[in-house]
Structure formats: C-alpha cells, structure tokens
Amino acid sequence: RKTFTDEIAHLRAQVATHKDQLTSSLKEKEDVASRLVALSEEKASLEELVEGLQVEVGARYDTGFQFAL
C-alpha cells in the first residue's frame, strides 16, 4: 500500500513538473511569435527605407551626370 501511495505522489510531482515546463514553453513560443511579428514589421520598414534611398541616390547620380555634360 505504501509503495502505491509513494508512486502516486511521485507521478503527481512529475505531472506538476511537466505542466510547468509546458507552460514555460508556451510562454516562450508566444514571446518568439511576438518578436517575429515585430521584426517582420521592422524589416518591411527598413526595406522601404532602402528602396527610397536607392531611388534618391539614382536621382542624384543622374543629376550629377547631366550637370557634367
């Protein structure tokens, strides 16, 4: 009888540990997903900025080339 009680206590402790690990993993997953969204938005913003800068540099190059002629 004592061994069954001990085994049940041991299994309950394992369940609690696994539950804590699962909760932690789910929170970490949510944090990573949130960071992914933020980084994706930042990437899109930076790509837009780079595109604008490329257009501006191209326009300045063309202006400088025309001035040289």
Percent of the chain with pLDDT over 90: 80
| CA neighbours closer than 13 Å in the CB half-sphere of residue 27 | 6
Could you give the angle at the alpha carbon of 33 between the alpha carbons of 32 and 34, nearest 5°? 90
Global pTM reads 0.60
Q: What is the pLDDT of residue 63?
A: 80
Length in residues, the chain: 69
pLDDT tens digit sequence for 25-50: 999 999 999 999 999 999 999 999 99
pLDDT band at 55 (very low <50, low <70, confident <90, very high): very high
